[in-house]
Amino acid sequence: MTIAAVLTAAGSGTRLGLDVPKAVVAVAGAPLVVHAARALLAARASDGSGVAQLVVTAPAALLDEVAALLGEVVDAAATDVRLDVVGGGRTRQESVAAGLAELVDDVDVVLVHDAARPFAPPELVARVVDAVHAGHAAVVPGLPVVDTVKRVAAGDGTGRPVVTTVPRADLVAVQTPQGFDRAVLERAHAVGSGLGAHEATAASDDAGLVEAAGVTVWVVPGDERAAKVTTARDLHVAQALRTTEARA
């Protein structure tokens, strides 16, 4: 099977409180998008296969910069990987759709990963790919939920009433990369394309689109290192963890 990865890196990163897009914010000496791309290209499935095409969605104003950064990553990986950098959409869903449109004909397994999860380790990527190779058309990594989770109803201005406590054993916190049979993912995006233009209706992840299309999504063990960088605090934590790992 030929594997492609769509790496979404078009977000503005406004919640980081910085004046540059999140993908090019540097942590541990490199932009987030570079860390994420390195992990994707370093991963090897059980059969030895790796990513053959890397499609990155980036802000329109940074296409050349991102292409140059990731061209160096591809060269350093010393593998025959095709790199495509394209403009992202108004939402994550539109950005992934733009990435899917760039896939070459022989790709049949697609990974979708967020540059906002820059330190997802190669072994996590491989675990997702192996599950798709095993016959699961849609695969997501997930971690057990450790907090008590309660479903609530509309409130009165002072708070919201609890409806029920949700059993934690039934819950996982989903990460990326998510892996899919290409035909299944493209079909799900085609069905949900009308909802992708606005944040209020766009899918928060690709597995949600696939679920809505009636396909079963499977969960494999996630990894704490694949934490999402959303806020300034997340950025500081990521920097601290990378510094600690480098000293170990």
**Assigned superfamily of 3-142+171-247:** Spore Coat Polysaccharide Biosynthesis Protein SpsA; Chain A (3.90.550.10)
Tens-digit pLDDT profile for residues 44-102: 999 999 999 999 999 999 999 999 999 999 999 878 999 999 999 888 899 999 999 99
Q: Where are the alpha helices (DSSP H) in the chain?
A: 32-42, 63-77, 92-100, 122-133, 182-191, 206-212, 232-247
The answer to whether 216 and 131 are in contact (CB under 8 A) is: no
Q: Where do the structural domains in the chain lie, given as residue ranges?
A: 3-142+171-247
The answer to whether residue 196 scores a pLDDT higher than 70 is: no
pLDDT (0 to 100) of residue 167: 94
Residues 49 and 42: their CA atoms lie apart, in Å, by: 10
In the predicted model, what is the mean pLDDT of the chain?
92
The model carries a pTM of: 0.93
Could you report the per-residue pLDDT of 2-48, keeping only the tens digit for each? 999 999 998 777 777 777 888 888 888 899 999 999 999 999 999 99
Task: Report which secondary-structure segment, H or E, holds 141.
Answer: strand 138-144
